[in-house]
Structure 1
């Protein structure tokens, strides 16, 4: 009964109110979840500049694992949402089970490869020998944590596909809270627990997500019965995996391009010294908090779009996207103003060395100016995936990162040092957002015209 009501609201309810009711819980949950990244950075910064630089180097790599999970979650949510919108909930249940199994398998393989290639990857990124012990101490347990991360992230996508954004938010908030509590205990030691330094931050993350694994499996298999309470047969698994991977693989690839591009720019930043890398890492982690509304909308908007796409209600998709896009631009301008005004204070929180604090402040006064336009790009990407157009999302990501972001930021670095690199990031977001906005609107206009010219089978019934 609850699920039916939720579906009816997403297909027929007030659009702005529906998006608001779905997004607010996501903002709260993601804010709590993302605090673990900021808390990790804060406590690790207390260990010294080398440790802070080491954890900054890990960001593109850890985000690659997270991006794989996000991509699988996007595929899961899109395909399940479409089946729900078209009235086939039982098939959605089998697909959800296969998606969870697939996520563990793929992330497990990725983790093994990652552990074996730590030195090679980080040397390629520009990390010197003095940082490698800290990077290894952090990354080995973090890769194991990435396996625990897979199930909650994909499991939460299943819940969101059914219209429930509150429960995923509670799960994320709990994971973040556990991480926050364990961080100082494991990093600095407490009672009989020895001080583990930078490694303690990764172990805290692993424990937090292990708790979430148990919780999400109980909710999905026992309490809600949204997945099969068994391992799928091979034939069932391959059917489900193909359905999820059709959207999830390009979506994962698109998401994984971001940390690859980030790794390239980290190598560019590394030419300015360890202090610049530390500042770059802090800025990137603060970006997640500064863009919390965009990220929340990118998770609450796709289930709405997928269900309405399955029900052939394209006009509701158009209205929802434009509401989200306008709000994101205005909101992120307000966020930019706040960060610019408080930049010096924020910089002093994360850095004792004057040079690091100066670079963090410079980052906050420039880069967040482009967050609103970056939000448009993110919303277009997630909307393409929700409408089962993952290749469009992938191409957009490739253009954004490797035709605009990396080349323009690198050119800015060449022309005007670190400040030029920061301005290059902003200019890249401006150009890409114009392309993305025009592309999505043209695509949706064509779909609506096709629907009028040739009514779909569901409409003829």
Structure 2
């Protein structure tokens, strides 16, 4: 039986442990688990690419909806997590439990909405992007399964955020890793019909994905019940608590919109690229699969940073906030520099050996990967800045910068570059947008640090 005894700041490692080992211990398991997550996203496309380029394009065009599902669940998780961490720092157990229950409720409602969309809107979604009947058929088969059975990914992310809020991120590595490994094992079996199973093609890829998600969420529920003693979920007589939902949404909805803007951007870029060829859209999809190996560890780092900053903000430990933010920036930019080196030196190897790229795909893909990757260092700065805003309870700033970068800059720049200079110039829209974002984030950083931290006795800026 879980206790409802308030948790004091000094009893929680978020408020007492040295920052460097704390950030590493909280973030590293999440970074590793997200690397595994990125691996099985790539494996899906690797196996699907062996079916045909049309199948690969279909899965690539489905990517915005998959990203949107994760964005909604993760965004609500950010709002729930920020409230949970602040409440833990304040020692208010009632608020802790209420935040967890209402956060889970919101995720279940959103899961139902995506299931309805998947059942009735999948074909229309693909038909709005292409007239190719094979791509529409493959994409509809894939997306319907992913969305109708999305309860796996929604509950997985929700319970992982509950564990994350109390620093139990090691168990998230186990849940995500196990789900990813199962998906990787099932992919070739179900796609190509091995070991006596029927050959299911892209349908098999979707089934493998949702099965891995169901295993992961089952494990996350188990670990929460057994290990997360600081949070109690109670549904007997549960009623949605509007003030709590409002606080969760205040931080979470800007995060959702910010990430959903990314889905809109990918959708728009696909529309522009499909004016040239389906291969160009496939290349853009491949880029997102590959860059997840670089971005996912940074997202894991940011997810580890958020509860540390939020907890210490609730507890009034400003010096710890300052150290956490500064260290997080340095690590994120270092990871991005490694990614930049890989994309600049090995684009042909990645395309040929992972995705069986044709000569035409290589002609488009090699310069595309090199140009887009120039944005990596700027993107690392932006990711961490947005996470700081969320941790301090001002996700609206993240929304402003993301909207400016991905809607106001990338899409217009891509369209204009395509119109005046052709396909080879489209890729420059991404570095251009990241440079604009860095300028915006720097301005917003100064504002939020003055507003949130100066009254507590210090002005913090990233170094």
Which of these residues, 318, 327, 344, is aligned with residue 340 of structure 1?
A: 344
Distance, in Å, in 1 between the alignment partners of 2:226 and 2:98 is 15
Distance, in Å, in 2 between the alignment partners of 1:15 and 1:190 is 49
Which ranges of structure 2 fall in alignment gaps of 5 or more residues?
A: 459-463
Q: Which moved more, 1:277-286 or 1:213-222?
A: 213-222
Quote the offset at 1:70 in angstroms. Answer: 1.0
Which of these residues, 58, 65, 68, is aligned with residue 64 of structure 1?
A: 68
| Residue equivalent to 2:201 | 197
Q: Which moved more, 1:120-129 or 1:165-174?
A: 120-129
| Residue equivalent to 1:448 | 453
Match status 1:415 vs 2:420: yes
Alpha carbons 1:97, 1:227 under 8 Å: kept:
no
Give secondary structure in 2 for the equivalent of 1:71: helix
1:52-107 CA-partner distances (Å, limit 9, x unpaired): 11111111111111111110111111110110111123421232122112201212
Distance, in Å, in 1 between the alignment partners of 2:233 and 2:333 is 43
Which of these residues, 29, 40, 45, is aligned with residue 41 of structure 1?
A: 45
| Residue equivalent to 1:351 | 356
| Residue equivalent to 1:25 | 29
The verdict on how the C-alpha distance between 1:115 and 1:314 changes in structure 2, with shifts beyond 3 A counting, is farther
Q: Which moved more, 1:147-156 or 1:229-238?
A: 229-238
RMSD, matched Cα: 2.2
1:307-354 CA-partner distances (Å, limit 9, x unpaired): 011112233323322222233223312221122211111111213411
Match status 1:175 vs 2:188: no
1:385-432 CA-partner distances (Å, limit 9, x unpaired): 111112222222212212222222333323332331111101110121
| Residue equivalent to 1:157 | 161
Give secondary structure in 1 for the equivalent of 2:60: helix
Quote the offset at 1:436 in angstroms. Answer: 0.7
Distance, in Å, in 1 between the alignment partners of 2:141 and 2:360 is 26
Alpha carbons 1:376, 1:437 under 8 Å: kept:
no
Quote the offset at 1:193 in angstroms. Answer: 1.3
Distance, in Å, in 1 between the alignment partners of 2:11 and 2:109 is 31
The verdict on how the C-alpha distance between 1:99 and 1:161 changes in structure 2, with shifts beyond 3 A counting, is same
Distance, in Å, in 2 between the alignment partners of 1:132 and 1:69 is 27
| Residue equivalent to 1:298 | 302
Match status 1:55 vs 2:73: no
Quote the offset at 1:12 in angstroms. Answer: 3.5
Give secondary structure in 2 for the equivalent of 1:291: helix
Which of these residues, 96, 110, 115, is aligned with residue 111 of structure 1?
A: 115
Could you tell me the TM-score, scaled by structure 2's length?
Answer: 0.92
Distance, in Å, in 2 between the alignment partners of 1:404 and 1:28 is 32
| Residue equivalent to 1:394 | 399
Match status 1:434 vs 2:435: no
Distance, in Å, in 2 between the alignment partners of 1:358 and 1:14 is 50
Distance, in Å, in 2 between the alignment partners of 1:4 and 1:160 is 17
Following superposition of structure 1 onto structure 2, how do residues 197-216 of structure 1 map, counting pairs within 5 Å?
197-216=201-220
| Residue equivalent to 2:78 | 74
Match status 1:370 vs 2:372: no
Quote the offset at 1:291 in angstroms. Answer: 1.7
Which of these residues, 124, 130, 134, is aligned with residue 134 of structure 2?
A: 130
Give secondary structure in 2 for the equivalent of 1:163: coil
Distance, in Å, in 2 between the alignment partners of 1:102 and 1:56 is 28
Quote the offset at 1:223 in angstroms. Answer: 4.5
Alpha carbons 2:171, 2:223 under 8 Å: kept:
no
Distance, in Å, in 1 between the alignment partners of 2:193 and 2:379 is 40
Quote the offset at 1:236 in angstroms. Answer: 4.9
The verdict on how the C-alpha distance between 1:440 and 1:127 changes in structure 2, with shifts beyond 3 A counting, is farther
Q: Which moved more, 1:440-449 or 1:161-170?
A: 440-449
Quote the offset at 1:4 in angstroms. Answer: 7.1
Distance, in Å, in 2 between the alignment partners of 1:299 and 1:214 is 21
Could you tell me the TM-score, scaled by structure 1's length?
Answer: 0.92
The verdict on how the C-alpha distance between 1:445 and 1:239 changes in structure 2, with shifts beyond 3 A counting, is closer
Give secondary structure in 1 for the equivalent of 2:149: helix
Following superposition of structure 1 onto structure 2, how do residues 232-247 of structure 1 map, counting pairs within 5 Å?
233-247=237-251
Alpha carbons 2:302, 2:383 under 8 Å: kept:
yes
